[in-house]
Amino acid sequence: MEQEITQRLLAFLDASPSCYHAAANVAEALLQAGYTRLYEGEPWQLTEGGRYFVLRGGASVIAFCIPRRDFRGFMIAAGHSDSPTFKVRETAEVPSAGGCLRLSVEPYGGMVMRSWLDRPLSVAGRVVVREEGRLAARLVNVDRDLLVIPSVAIHMDREVNKGTALKANVDMLPLFGMGKEPGGFRRLIAEEAGAAEEDLISTDLFLYPRQAATLTGAAEEFVASPRLDDLQCVFGCLEGFLTAKDGESVPMLAVFHNEEVGSGTRQGADSTFLTDVLRRVSNAMGRTEEEYRAAVANSFLVSADNAHAIHPNHPEYADGREFPVLNGGVVLKYNAAQRYTTDAVSDAVFRQVCREAGVPVQRYSNRADLPGGSTLGNISTAHLSVHSVDIGLPQLAMHAAYEVAGAKDTAYLAQAMTIYFEKSFRSGPEGIEI
């Protein structure tokens, strides 16, 4: 099972060069599993036993099942489809010294910029084209080694190994060609989209590394790949979601876009997307406002976003006692300032889930003087007041172009989430039930 899940993870990572492709691959897996796509602009007709999903913004997906009309609550898991990268500007081509043509890009999220140097790159994302008098969005992936961002030779920058600062507008523009054909990039994208150049209206294109996801290590115990943060968690949660049997609550998988830039978009975790879906599910099943609020009170949220494993070269960056290791199992993330939402109750609940699944659990806290970033959990619970736990899978080189994780950990997450989605949650005067 572990090896099969790992191989499917590698295929999923390779097939998801952009957030839009990741969402499309999640949607395709749901369709193959018998789920019906809903559209926000149309009325929803839901039935007991029904399986559904809805997309917003092309890169966010929420899927759910209706076990019965009188479901107890919602068992939600959330990850994100985007990863740090460089967005290609609409006016892309930049004539440069030596007759070269570069592409104008700007950072998307907080990436390790030096990791993008001197490696084959390409572009992927979505475009909007004019099609028979209307506008249509299409996925685009230039599936070949197209670009490279060349570094400055050490002969010209003798201080490079001492930590030369990189400027996004100077050092990180990828080399596209020799500039003999102005407009070549736009023509290329139109061709990839299957549209005439004059019908290409606008683009959301991003750079991505061309190296395929792979297993490394003496016993192939590591996964090395772009976009492990957070597609590894997305994939593990999706596996659990599709495997879980019906329970007394509504299992719900949410994959949000724009986490890496703050989630403050119509399709981000800081939007109304999740609460909109919850209310529409409740209304479609004929439940009252009072029943809806009771269901929310009996709901739970797992915020799944990868965690920092202790670094073999720099263990001093980790907390001395609460640090996860690769292949050590699912990580429960703690932070006193509530950048992670885990508390004693949600910790205990998820530990029980992992115990039933036979999955090892690790605990992570940032070193006290090195605060981490916020997650989907504390953003989502600002809109939806539910118990929440922040989890992740341990990895190295987070936000680099190529990241490293443990080969065993994806299966651990899938096993835990299978049990989780079958559960119900209730917090009452006699204690907690799950």
Q: Does the structure show a pLDDT above 90 at 335?
A: no
Residue 345: is its pLDDT beyond 80?
yes
Is there a shared CATH topology between the 2-83+226-433 domain and the 85-209 domain? no
Structure tokens at 215: 């297993």
pLDDT tens across 79-109, in order? 999 999 999 999 999 999 999 999 999 999 9
- Tell me whether strands 214-216 and 222-225 are parallel, antiparallel or unpaired: antiparallel
pLDDT number for residue 299: 96
pLDDT tops 80 at residue 179: no
Q: What is the full DSSP assignment across 138-166? A: EEEE--S--BB-PPPPTTT-TTGGGT---
Between the two ends of the chain, the Cα-to-Cα distance in Å is 26
pLDDT tens across 278-310, in order? 999 999 999 999 999 999 999 999 999 999 999
pLDDT of residue 319: 86
Residue 223 has pLDDT above 90, yes or no: yes
Position 232 scores a pLDDT of: 98
So where are the chain's domains? 2-83+226-433, 85-209
pLDDT tops 90 at residue 428? no
More confidently predicted of 374 and 160: 160
Whether 426 has a pLDDT exceeding 90, the answer reads no
- Range in 12-16, 111-115, 148-152, 377-381 with the lowest mean pLDDT: 377-381
Mean residue pLDDT of the chain comes to 94
Specify whether domain 2-83+226-433 bears CATH 3.40.630.10: yes
What is the reported pLDDT for 182? Answer: 79
79 burial level (CB within 10 Å; 0-12, 13-18, 19+) = buried
What local confidence, expressed as pLDDT, does residue 183 receive?
A: 87
What's the pLDDT band for 218 if we cut at 50, 70, 90? very high
Whole-angstrom Cα distance, residue 62 to residue 119?
Answer: 35
Three-state DSSP class for residue 128: strand
Task: Identify the residue with better confidence: 261 or 412.
Answer: 412
Q: What is the mean pLDDT of residues 398-408?
A: 97
Q: What is the pTM of this model?
A: 0.96
CATH of domain 85-209: 2.30.250.10
**Residue 274 confidence (pLDDT) above 90:** yes
Percent of the chain with pLDDT over 90: 83
Which of 357 and 376 is assigned the larger pLDDT? 357
DSSP 8-class letter at 105: E
The CA-CA-CA angle for residues 123, 129, 131, to 5°, reads 145
Burial of 143 (0-12, 13-18, 19+ CB in 10 A): exposed
* Whole-number pLDDT of residue 186: 96
Beta-strand runs (E) in 217-283 = 222-225, 250-256
For the cut 80, the answer to whether the pLDDT of residue 181 exceeds it is no
What are 358-392's pLDDT values in tens digits?
A: 999 999 888 888 877 777 877 888 889 999 999 99
pLDDT at position 366 is 87
Picking from 146, 111, 91, 370, the residue whose alpha carbon sits closest to that of residue 227 is 111
